[in-house]
A and B are shown apart, each in its own frame.
Chain A
Amino acid sequence: MKQVFKRPDCLVDIPFHFCPGCHHGIIHRVVAEVLDEFNLREKAIIAASVGCSVFMYDYFDMDVIEAPHGRAAAVATGVKRARPDNFVFTYQGDGDLAAIGTAEIIHAANRSEKVTVFFVNNTIYGMTGGQMAPTTMIGQLSTTTPRGRDPQEAGHPIHMAELLATLAGTAYSARVAVNNVKNLMKAKKATKQAVRAQLDKKGLGFVEYLSTCPTNWKMTPEKANRRIAEELIPIFPLGVFKEEQAPAEAGVG
């Protein structure tokens, strides 16, 4: 019998700890399937971040280095420079990458680091219990915006995929969602491109995944999934914002 649904080789065969309806699990799977396709399990070194995805070393059957909160892009830089033949990627939440780690991601991209960055935007801090993130929507309730996010007081939702696309060192930048099958296919395609950006030594590859946090959004999984299409995508448009072609061979191998 042909097996049609199997756990990716890159993932350890244990259940995720994520809450029901959380997209972290789906995004883990998308990443793992793409890494399987490129046969990267034995080559990969992950710079894990601090957030709900902190336990990547339990789930990914690959070498993992724990980065301090926000510093994954700098840690990945150190790993990649020391091991240029390995495949190095980070997986970070929106507090980790777009608040405390903003300097590190911008400069890693600007230096054209040959690393891949998977960025999970769930418009909230999951792990610490639902505080405002830089990506929190205007008017959105969180435990630190109890009257809703007021842009005059608390700023605007930050658009990382567009922001990084302005940097010359970013080879690929896209925003995707995993809320339905059609978007999931596109998410997989974008993930592949971000992986290729590193394999082809073009520069930093970046994918922003719109994600759910039913627990801290205080919604059922179904309602949380609907919110992606109804509220997030209109503000965080899906698409590819930067796609660099491979540079012409410079003559040296």
Chain B
Amino acid sequence: MEKKRKKALVKGNEAVAMGAIEAGCRFYFGYPITPQNEIPEYMSAHLPEVGGTFIQAESEIASINMLLGACSTGARAMTSSSSPGISLKQEGLSYMAGSEIPGVVVNMSRSGPGLGGISPSQGDYFQATRGGGHGDYRVLVLAPDSVQECYDLTMLAFDMSDKYTNPVLVLGDAMLGQMKEPLEFKKYQPKKFEKKWALTGAKGRKAQFLKSLYLDDGELTVHNWNLFAKYKRMKEDIRYEALFLDEARLVVVAFGSMARVLKSSVKMAQDEGLKVGLIRPITLFPYPAEFIRETSLQVKNFLAMELNTGQMVEDVRLSVEPGTQVDFFGLPPGSLPAPDVFLKEIKKVYPE
């Protein structure tokens, strides 16, 4: 297997698949959709080598429910898709959140609405960070910005998912999935998760079940408060990257492939003597709200930049101290421009 080497030039999609297998994922269920097909293709080739199981399901609905079933036994499993397919998985995700079943879901998002197109887009931000399906639930969302992070964060997704017994979403996009970069393989350090809830047959213990239905008086209220408390606990795993924040007069906030391009734009601004910093949320839920608030005590101008017409900007506005100026620049699906295009937009709002 590829793992024997220390480094390789691979696509983001392959890195996701490699990270998953390294983290002990042994079951994969999926349905083909561009631009993430390298994930099921890699899994179909390599899962059998480690005694795992690959199923090409009849739909994304079937895939997410196979995931629900496999994960209910305590096994590590994954499904992946892209935007339209992720819409179909929302019912299953809601059940998994409600029944507190872990599981990793990857969205190498494309552009919508509807069939949309296969160009990079960040139009699924709301769906990803607000639960996505019905009911008051959340999934932990990890947003890589490089092939290396596609690998690292997929491994992390399995630990987070087991830690919180909750689904975890890895949110990439067409650019991240398709681009090739050098990947450094890392050995997964297994953590111990006690899975007393796992369904393995009632041998030597009482029968148990996993469910989301609560009909008795007050039961569902308690259940929802417990879920809420868990989502609050997730804050201890907030991740973000911060660049050039010292003395910054304007802070750009962006995630995923957009942040990747903007790193160059911000460096160009620095070279021209402009004090522009960058905050890149890596967990989109929970959001690094507190860090952004603290930053806004020093910096009064923020610029949210996204490959959509304005979604994450709402979280920036909810995070900053009152009196902070939050501007927005967004691009609907199409092409991802070069860093100098964004530099122009940065200059437009740079405080005099």
Contact = CB atoms under 8 A, between A and B. Distances in A.
Interface of A: 41-45, 47-48, 54, 57, 60-68, 71, 74-83, 86-87, 103-104, 106-107, 111
- For B61, B67, B70, B199, the residue with the greatest tally of chain A CB atoms inside 10 Å of its CB is B199
Given A65-B72, A81-B55, A82-B53, 15 more contacts: A42-B204, A43-B203, A60-B207, A62-B201, A63-B199, A63-B201, A63-B202, A64-B207, A66-B99, A76-B69, A77-B66, A81-B53, A83-B201, A86-B200, A104-B58
A107 B65 contact: no
A153 B69 CA distance: 37
B246 to A, nearest CB: 50
B50 to A, nearest CB: 14
B95 A82 contact: no
Given A63-B200, A66-B95, A71 B73 contact: no
Contacts of B199: 45, 63-65, 79
B261 interface: no
Given A81-B70, A107-B57, A107-B58, A75 B211 contact: no
Nearest to A60: B207
Contacts of A71: 61-62, 65, 68, 92
Given A47-B69, A82-B27, A104 B62 contact: yes
A79 B62 contact: no
A61 B66 contact: no
Contacts of A79: 69-70, 72-73, 199
B181 interface: no
A51 to B, nearest CB: 12
Contacts of A47: 69
A78 B70 contact: yes
A107 B62 contact: yes
B108 interface: no
A74 B95 contact: no
Interface residues of B, number: 39
A63 B197 CA distance: 10
A166 B141 CA distance: 43
Given A79-B69, A82-B73, A66 B62 contact: no
B106 interface: no
Contacts of A76: 69
Given A47-B69, A76-B69, A78-B71, A83 B200 contact: yes
B29 interface: yes
Nearest to B26: A82
Contact of B207 (A61, A81, A107): A61
B59 A103 contact: yes
Contacts of B213: 54, 66
B212 interface: yes
Nearest to B199: A63
Contacts of B201: 42-45, 62-63, 83, 86-87
Contacts, number: 133
B77 A82 contact: yes
A74 B203 contact: no
Contact of B210 (A61, A65, A87, A111): A65
A64 B200 CA distance: 10
A83 to B, nearest CB: 5
A68 B88 CA distance: 13
Contacts of A67: 65, 68-69, 95
Contact of A61 (B53, B59, B69, B202): B202
Contacts of B63: 74
A111 B53 CA distance: 13
A77 B55 contact: yes
B209 A63 contact: yes
Nearest to A80: B69
Nearest to B29: A78
B211 A45 contact: no
A74 B200 contact: no
Contacts of A60: 207
A78 B202 contact: no
B102 to A, nearest CB: 13
A45 B203 CA distance: 11
- For A41, A42, A80, A111, the residue with the greatest tally of chain B CB atoms inside 10 Å of its CB is A42
B75 interface: yes
Interface string B206-239: 0111111100000000000000000000000000
Interface in B31-65: 53, 55, 57-59, 61-63, 65
B91 interface: yes
Nearest to B54: A81
B202 A74 contact: no
Contacts of B26: 82
Contact of A81 (B27, B62, B95, B212): B27
B209 A77 contact: no
B65 A78 contact: yes
A78 B68 contact: yes
- For B65, B69, B207, the residue with the greatest tally of chain A CB atoms inside 10 Å of its CB is B69
A79 B27 CA distance: 11
A88 B77 CA distance: 18
Contact of B66 (A45, A78, A87): A78
A68 B203 contact: no
Nearest to A69: B91
Contacts of B211: 48, 57, 64-66
